[in-house]
Structure 1
Amino acid sequence: MTTRTLAVVSAGLSQPSSTRMLADKLSDATVAKLAEQGIDTTVETFELRDVATDIMNHMLTGFPSPKLEAVIEAVTGADGLIAVTPIFTTSYSGLFKSFFDVIDSAALAELPVVIGATAGTPRHSLALDYALRPMFTYLHAIVAPTGVFAATGDWGESADSVKTLPARIDRASGELAALVAASDRSANVRDPFALDRPFGHLIGGLTGE
C-alpha cells in the first residue's frame, strides 16, 4: 500500500479547544479519503501551545530547541499539512504566525495545505482568505481552494450547522487528499544543510573518485 505523511498544526490555546476539534475532523476526513484511494496515511498532530516557549526562544536566539526542531522537521517534511488557528483581532493568532515565522521561507514550497480557522462569530470567516491564504501563498505552498471556518454556532445542533460544516470539511479534505496523493515530498525532502560531497573532499580538493 502507498504511504503518505500528514502533519496537523493546531494553534488552539485552551484544552480542549474547538481549534483542535476542527483540526482532528479535517485530519480524520482526509485520512478516510486517502484510504479510499489505497493510500495509508501517517498522521502527526502538533499543539503549538506545547512549544510556545520554544518558538519565542527561537525568535530571540535564532536556534530551535530539539523539541521545536522535531516539530518543524515533521511539518516541512510532510506530504500534506492541515493548519488551523483561532481568530484573534480579525486575524490568525500570534502563536500561529510565530511558528511559521521561524520556519525557513522555502521549506513549505509545493506543500499541499488546507487552512482552517475558528472564532466565536461567523463575521471572522473572511480571515481565511485575507490572512491565512496569502501567508501560505507567500511561502509557495499549494493551498487547497476550500478553507474551513467554524464559528461557535457551527458546533451546535442547528439545521445549518449539521449541513454546512460537515460539507465544508468533506470538500476541503477531498481537495487535500487529491493533492497529497499526487505528492511525494516526504520521499524527496532534502536537508538544506546537507553537503553534495563529503566534507573532506570539499576542503581537500578531492573528487571522490
Structure 2
Amino acid sequence: MTTRRIVVLSAGLSTPSSTRLLADRLAAAVTAALADRGERAEVQVVELREHARDLADHLVAGFPNTALAPVLESVAAADAVVAVTPIFSASYSGLFKTFVDVLDRDALTGTPVLLAATGGTARHSLALEHAMRPLFAYLRAATVPTAVFAAPEDWGATEVGTTLDGRVGRAAGELADAVAARPPATRTDLFADVPDFTSLLKG
C-alpha cells in the first residue's frame, strides 16, 4: 500500500473555527477515499494562524524562518493539498493569500488540490470559483472539479443530495482519483542550495 502525503491548509482565524472543522471533515473523507483505492494517507494539517508572524517575517526578510520553512517544504512535496479558507468581502482571507504569496512559484505545479471555504452566508459560495480557482490556476495546480463551501445552515442540513457530507464525499473522491492516478511525489529540500550565514561571512 502506497503512502500519500496530504497537506491540509486551514486559514481559520479563531479557535475553534468552522474552517478547521471543514478541513478536518475533508481530511477524513480524503483518507477514507484513498483507502478505498488501496492507498494510505499521511495527513498534515497546517493552521496558518499559527504562522501569521512567520509569514510577515518572510514578506519583510525575503526568506522563511525555521518555523515556516518546513511547512513550505511539506506543501511542495505533497501528493495533494486541501486548501480551506474563510471568505471575507467575497474573497479568500488575507492570511490565506499571504501564505500563497510566499510559496515557491512552482511548488504546486501539477499538484491535485481540493478547494474549500466557509462563510457567513451562502452568497459567498461563488468566491470559490471567481477568486480561489483562478488563484490556483495561476499556480498551475490541478484543482478537482468539486469545490466545497459551508455556510452556517449547511452544518445541520439533512436533505438528501444537498448535504455538506455529500459534497465533501464527492470532492474527496475526485481528489483521491487524481492522487491515485499519479506516481508518489518526491520530497525535495527547497533550501538545500542556500548557503548558511557562516559560509557567507567567510566569503
| TM-score computed with the length of structure 1 as normaliser | 0.88
Instruction: Give runs of aligned pairs for residues 30-179 of structure 1, distance below 5 A.
Output: 30-156=30-156, 158-160=157-159, 163-179=162-178
Asked if the contact 2:73/2:188 (under 8 Å) is kept, the reply is no
Structure 1: which amino acid aligns with 2:114?
Answer: V
Return the alpha-carbon distance in structure 1 between the equivalents of residues 122 and 67 of structure 2: 35
Question: Please, which runs of 5 or more residues in structure 2 have no aligned partner?
Answer: 194-203
Seen in structure 2, the aligned counterparts of structure 1 residues 135 and 172 have a Cα distance that, compared at 3 Å, is same
**C-alpha deviation, 1:41, in angstroms:** 0.9
Residue 201 of structure 2 aligns with which residue?
none
Partner of 2:11: 11
Question: What amino acid is aligned across from residue 183 of structure 2 in structure 1?
Answer: D
159-168 vs 135-144, greater mean Cα deviation: 159-168
Q: 1:200 is matched with which residue?
A: none
Contact 1:116 1:128 in 2 (8 A): yes
Runs of 4+ aligned residues of structure 1 deviating over 3 Å after TM superposition are 158-163, 189-195
Residue identity matched to 2:178: L
Q: For each residue in 1:54-110, what CA deviation from the matched residue of structure 2 results, as whole angstroms up to 9, or x when unmatched? A: 001101110111111111111111000000000011100000000010011111101
8 A Cα contact 1:155 1:161, kept in partner:
no
**Structure 1 residues 62 and 20, CA, compared in 2 at 3 Å: closer, same or farther?**
same
Gaps of 5+ in 1: 196-209
Which entry has the higher C-alpha Rg, 1 or 2? 1
Is 1:181 the equivalent of 2:180?
yes
CA distance in 2 between counterparts of 1:145 and 1:11 reads 21
Q: Secondary structure at the match of 2:68?
A: helix
Tell me the CA shift for residue 183 of structure 1: 2.5
User: Aligned equivalents of 1:71 and 1:3: distance in 2?
Assistant: 19
TM-score by length of 2: 0.90
Q: State the alpha-carbon separation in 2 of the partners of residues 43 and 133 from structure 1.
A: 23
CA distance in 2, matches of 1:161, 1:85: 26
What CA RMSD, in Å, does the superposition of the two structures yield over aligned residues?
A: 1.6
Deviation readout 1:136-169 (Å, 9 max, x if unpaired): 010000000000000011112x434994211110
The match for 1:2 is 2
Contact 2:8 2:23 in 1 (8 A): yes
Residues of 2 paired with 1:94 and 1:144: CA distance?
A: 23
Cα deviation, 1:15-36, whole Å, max 9, x if unaligned, reads 1110011111111001001101
Paired AA for residue 18 in structure 2: S
Letter in 2 for 1:167: G
Q: Secondary structure at the match of 2:55?
A: helix
Could you say if the C-alpha distance between residues 161 and 91 of structure 1 is closer, same or farther in structure 2, counting changes exceeding 3 Å?
Answer: farther
Q: What displacement does 1:184 show?
A: 2.9
- 3-state SS of the aligned residue for 1:84? strand
Shift of the alpha carbon at 1:174?
0.2
Conserved? CA contact 1:117–1:128, under 8 Å? yes
What's the offset of the Cα at 1:190?
4.1
Secondary structure of 1:78 counterpart: coil
